[in-house]
Amino acid sequence: MDNRIDQVFKEKKDILNVYFTAGYPNLDDTIQIARSLEKAGADMLEIGMPFSDPVADGPTIQESSQRALENGMSIKQLFEQLQSLRSEVSIPVLLMGYVNPVIQFGIDRFCEKCQEVGIDGLIIPDLPMQAYLDNYSSKFKSAGIHNIFLISPNTSEERIKQIDEKSGGFIYVVSSSSITGAKSGVQEGQVEYYKRIESMQLNTPSLIGFGISDHETFSTACTYASGAIIGSAFIKQLKENPSDEGIRGFVEKIKG
């Protein structure tokens, strides 16, 4: 069977991937939010594993991470919550987080749990490519998990080609060199960057993330990539109104 991520890229365009932090706003919200997002029309979900030192994240996601940790969220707790995932959610689900907690949990055990609950991919921004290839790739592959690499405006062409060759699922195109959620609107220079990546004609599809917050930034991203990832803007939505209606309204507004 194809990985669910591959299926989505075959069947859809203008893909919306929504990030939220596990255990935020409340510890037991994870499955309900995932279910609401699928019902609202999200094509893919990214569940953040909260960490005390999230270096790539802006204040909004850091705050949600902090709250989730205070609520008692951990990787162990998350996997317990995800036991019912596949009876309630059919779209692809990725876990995003930092390598330290994964190593502490135990990489073999982590991959087993991902396979058991039906996780399709992992995004671990601080896992170096060489370390992944040497120590992790065979474990991820045997568990049916795609490892998603990130590229940014500073990533060299040679490196992008190498990432394309080693990637499964999609490439996460970071829209700017800043932290998440720091910008709004399409910044000058970003479209040139999107065009440059598009012109490389990579084999792996790409999703654009960081600074995608409304219909305008989403549709711009969809012009140059297969879709986009929204994080901070959705966390703000959860802070204001985490209800089914609130989530549906948010997704409709983004998709336009």
State the number of CA atoms in the 13 A half-sphere of 142 facing the CB.
Answer: 10
**Nearest residue to 116 via CA among 87, 82, 90, 141:** 82
CB 81, CB 92: distance < 8 Å: no
Q: Is 57 a catalytic residue?
A: yes
Per annotation, catalytic residue among 29, 38, 43, 57 = 57
Do the strands 171-174 and 44-48 form a parallel or antiparallel pair, or are they unpaired? unpaired
Which of these is catalytic: 29, 38, 43, 46? 46
Q: Is 46 a catalytic residue?
A: yes
- As annotated, the active-site residues are 46, 57
